[in-house]
């Protein structure tokens, strides 16, 4: 990407962010008048995400979404909010926020733990800057969803991927934000950094949950331990969305807990923001749906009895605005908002008539009475995911729930405990929480990312629960977390000296950021020495200089990124890795593939058109072509220039994909790249169904000859 294109992307992104935060700040001032500080920032962040996604879905429904159309609509909405802000409804209740200061020592401990987790997260991001996104889910569906939206401008159509888990019906709140970043820069540069923003947002929300009880650093440290663990390390530099949904739940809880602190009833303003956060969580990942509904129910119960019906209806509407779009889309395309559920008792529901597919299914719930699996797989797996101190971490999380359901905790914190339990239950019954062959749930550690949000919620609540138990209890918990930090936070897994330096530097920067924030608040507090205008001028100059510094450093980072993006992928089989290298240098190619992991095929500029070659079925169904004729027909219907036909991963029974063997003798096929496990071929005309005629016994032999054809270097690079 040229420096000019980079600056245009930065300018457009900053303009869009300015519009989004203007909308959010105005709405927050009307819904939560008088609120300030971290809780107000958290509420503003929730509203800002809604302001990002709302215009995106409006435009995307009609296929009109582009970077420019989104920017113009957002600026227009921001201008309208600014012009008519006094006409917007103003919340009547203006309760002062309850705030109990934490001791400086406790703050230092909590911030130190958070700084360590932040450093580890940044180090993992730096690794992705040298490779591109390599996580399985990022390359399977998160990346293709985002790139497909960015390329087509369409959010309503189903993006049909490899037929596993009916993934094309997944909600995509997180992916549309990635798509906007791709539109701004024409690349996925921002995608590597987005989860870093969600990481910081989770820490902010955690601080707010413990703030009314004098234990904000404990909530901060608890959430930092979970986010910094191995179970969540694959969120760094990737497009995974577990951390995104975690923020929405923590943010909604933060608003609820602070609005209800001191035994108060909450008004309509906080209810709307809590419900919006719940909807955004449900629109991010389906396993957050039960927790989101509980969060909304808690907000309604906390209202004055005479206002519960009104608040419930308004909150339900806000929840639907936050996440209902994707389930309405599913209903229209598939006849069922949750097509994974095709029976409720004797009642049959419409939906795709096909197996879910993918990995061998298995839930933790199904193994709860199998003590051999628990001893051989689950207990060591907890250690792999959350470190050798996982038992103590679990005890602290349970303590957070117990303290928040105890007498005197109040409905807000009881709701938070129920949210945590709902997330635990969703993990227990998730069909991939213990995936793998029967009796060998080798996907258990990977599935711990479904449990991590529950632990984050419970440990955030621990601060609010322990805060009222006195300084001794606070220091006992803080000391336990300090002991846990070195063995829980994922330091050094595959790092070299560069990653260690990045981690230490990022941790130090986090400390400086905290000190800077504290300094800004002290300047604002000293009214006898500084006027509000002086304070704003000082803050403005500081932020302006920081912004210039970030933009200039970002140019160096993006050059490094695109010099290394998918230059030598080592996370898949040789044939698919070589195809990724080839496709990264292509532009505007139309590619059909049988590979599940297809995101790198979109190319550096994300302008290759990539589609899994399959057969569409009623109710939004999509299956693999099970025979040669169906495959040839599907490939011809796609009008592809290239086919990338490889095995998906190591350890499969065949040496080469059946699809390649089916078509290798077709005169339309011209080799481009050949490697162990598959090939890239060019099609100079449609494939012939005659290649599928029975009795073509030379096919496999000719494939073996084809496999050894010397391919020129120019062909391997696609030139």
In tens, the pLDDT along 669-693 reads 999 998 888 999 999 999 998 888 7
Does the pLDDT at position 710 exceed 50?
no
- Looking at residue 494, its pLDDT comes to 78
The secondary structure of 10-58 as a DSSP string is: HHHHHHHHHHHHHHHHHHHHHHSTT--SHHHHHHHHHHHHHHHHHHHHH
Task: Give me the percent of the chain exceeding a pLDDT of 70.
Answer: 91
pLDDT tens-digit map of 160-175: 999 989 999 999 999 9
Angle between helices 390-405 and 411-429 (to 10 degrees): 140
- Looking at residue 717, its pLDDT comes to 40
Q: What is the mean pLDDT of residues 428-450?
A: 90
- Looking at residue 250, its pLDDT comes to 97
- Looking at residue 251, its pLDDT comes to 97
The SS3 of residue 142 is: helix
Of 381, 359, 385, 606, whose CA–CA distance to 490 is shortest?
Answer: 385
Separation in Å, CA 490 to CA 222, 396, 485, 493, 500:
15, 19, 9, 7, 12
Does the pLDDT at position 536 exceed 70?
no
- Looking at residue 64, its pLDDT comes to 96
Separation in Å, CA 107 to CA 33, 474, 495:
28, 11, 29
Confidence of residue 651 (pLDDT cuts 50, 70, 90): low
Regarding beta strands 642-646 and 590-593, do their DSSP bridges make them parallel or antiparallel, or are they unpaired? parallel
Confidence of residue 656 (pLDDT cuts 50, 70, 90): confident
Tell me the β-bridge partners of 609. Answer: 590
- Looking at residue 93, its pLDDT comes to 65
Does the pLDDT at position 99 exceed 90?
no
Give me the chain's average pLDDT, please: 89
Does the pLDDT at position 714 exceed 60?
no
The SS3 of residue 257 is: helix
Tell me the β-bridge partners of 674. Answer: 679
Q: Which residue in the block uniquely carries the two structure tokens 């200089």?
A: 545
pTM, entire model: 0.93
pLDDT tens-digit map of 562-592: 999 999 898 899 999 999 999 998 999 999 9
- Looking at residue 529, its pLDDT comes to 46
pLDDT tens-digit map of 142-159: 999 999 999 999 999 999
Centroid of chain to Cα 110 = 25
509 or 65, greater pLDDT:
65
Confidence of residue 711 (pLDDT cuts 50, 70, 90): very low
- Looking at residue 463, its pLDDT comes to 92
Of 285, 634, 264, whose CA–CA distance to 453 is shortest?
Answer: 285
Q: Which residue in the block uniquely carries the two structure tokens 């803080």?
A: 478
- Looking at residue 528, its pLDDT comes to 44
The SS3 of residue 443 is: coil
Tokens of 342: 């095709």
Confidence of residue 531 (pLDDT cuts 50, 70, 90): low
pLDDT tens-digit map of 617-643: 999 999 999 899 999 999 999 999 999
Does the pLDDT at position 719 exceed 80?
no
Does the pLDDT at position 224 exceed 70?
yes
652 CB-near residues (< 8 Å, 6+ apart):
none
- Looking at residue 675, its pLDDT comes to 86
Does the pLDDT at position 190 exceed 90?
yes
Does the pLDDT at position 606 exceed 90?
yes
Residue 30: how many CB atoms within 10 A of its CB?
A: 17
- Looking at residue 524, its pLDDT comes to 57
Task: Give me the percent of the chain exceeding a pLDDT of 90.
Answer: 67
Contact 106, 221 (CB under 8 A): no
């Amino acid at each position: 990407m040229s420096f000019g294109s980079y600056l245009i992307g930065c300018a457009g992104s900053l303009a869009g962010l300015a519009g989004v935060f203007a909308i959010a700040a105005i709405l927050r001032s009307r819904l939560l008048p008088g609120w300030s500080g971290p809780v107000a920032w958290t509420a503003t962040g929730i509203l800002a995400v809604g302001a990002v996604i709302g215009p995106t879905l409006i435009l995307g429904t009609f296929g009109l979404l582009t970077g420019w159309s989104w920017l113009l609509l957002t600026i227009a909405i921001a201008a309208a909010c600014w012009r008519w802000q006094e006409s917007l409804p103003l919340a009547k209740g203006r309760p002062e926020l309850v705030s109990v200061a934490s001791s400086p020592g406790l703050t230092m401990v909590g911030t130190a733990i958070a700084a360590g987790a932040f450093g580890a997260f940044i180090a993992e991001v730096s690794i992705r800057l040298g490779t591109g996104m390599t996580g399985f889910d990022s390359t399977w569906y998160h990346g293709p969803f985002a790139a497909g939206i960015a390329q087509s401008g369409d959010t309503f159509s189903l993006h049909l991927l490899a037929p596993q888990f009916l993934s094309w019906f997944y909600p995509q709140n997180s992916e549309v934000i990635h798509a906007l970043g791709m539109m701004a820069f024409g690349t996925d540069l921002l995608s590597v950094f987005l989860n870093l923003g969600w990481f910081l947002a989770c820490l902010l929300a955690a601080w707010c949950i413990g703030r009314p009880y004098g234990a904000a650093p404990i909530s901060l440290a608890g959430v930092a331990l979970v986010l910094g663990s191995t179970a969540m390390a694959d969120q760094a530099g990737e497009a995974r969305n577990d951390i995104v949904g975690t923020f929405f739940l923590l943010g909604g809880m933060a608003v609820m807990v602070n609005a209800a602190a001191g035994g108060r009833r909450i008004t309509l303003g906080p209810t709307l923001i809590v419900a919006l956060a719940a909807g955004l969580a449900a629109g991010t990942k389906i396993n957050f749906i039960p927790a989101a509904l509980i969060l909304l129910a808690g907000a309604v119960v906390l209202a004055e009895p005479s206002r519960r019906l009104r608040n419930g209806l308004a909150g339900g509407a806000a929840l639907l605005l936050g996440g209902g779009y994707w389930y309405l889309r599913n209903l229209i395309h598939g006849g069922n908002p949750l097509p994974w559920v095709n029976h409720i008792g004797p009642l049959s529901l419409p939906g795709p008539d096909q197996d879910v597919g993918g990995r061998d299914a298995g839930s933790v719930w199904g193994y709860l009475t199998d003590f051999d699996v628990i001893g051989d797989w689950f207990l060591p797996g907890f250690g792999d995911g959350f470190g050798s101190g996982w038992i103590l971490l679990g005890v602290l999380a349970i303590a957070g729930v117990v303290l928040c359901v105890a007498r005197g905790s109040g409905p807000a914190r009881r709701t938070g405990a129920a949210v945590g339990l709902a997330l635990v239950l969703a993990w227990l019954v998730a069909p991939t929480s213990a995936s793998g062959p029967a009796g060998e749930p080798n996907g258990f550690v990977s599935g711990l990312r479904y449990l991590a949000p529950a632990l984050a919620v419970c440990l955030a609540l621990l601060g609010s629960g322990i805060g009222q138990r006195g300084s001794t209890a606070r220091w006992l918990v803080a000391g336990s977390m300090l002991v846990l930090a070195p063995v829980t936070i994922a330091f050094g897994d595959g790092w070299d000296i560069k990653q260690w330096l990045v981690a230490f530097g990022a941790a130090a920067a986090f400390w400086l950021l905290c000190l800077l924030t504290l300094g800004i608040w002290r300047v604002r507090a000293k009214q006898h020495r500084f006027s509000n205008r002086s304070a704003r001028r000082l803050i403005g100059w500081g932020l302006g200089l920081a912004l210039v510094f970030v933009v200039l450093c970002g140019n160096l980072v993006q050059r490094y990124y695109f010099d290394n993006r998918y230059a030598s992928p080592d996370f898949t089989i040789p044939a698919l890795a070589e195809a990724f290298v080839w496709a990264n240098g292509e532009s505007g190619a139309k590619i059909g593939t049988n590979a599940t992991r297809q995101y790198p095929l979109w190319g550096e500029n994300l302008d290759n058109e990539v589609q899994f070659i399959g057969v569409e079925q009623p109710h939004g169904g999509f299956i693999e072509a099970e025979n040669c004729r169906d495959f040839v027909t599907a490939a011809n219907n796609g009008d592809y220039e290239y086919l990338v036909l490889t095995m998906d991963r190591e350890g499969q029974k065949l040496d080469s994909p059946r699809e390649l063997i089916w078509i290798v003798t077709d005169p339309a096929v011209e080799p481009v790249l050949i490697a162990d496990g598959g090939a890239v071929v060019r099609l100079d005309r449609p494939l012939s169904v005659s290649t599928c005629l029975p009795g073509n016994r030379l096919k496999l032999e000719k494939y073996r000859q084809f496999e050894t054809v010397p391919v020129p270097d120019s062909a391997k690079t696609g030139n």
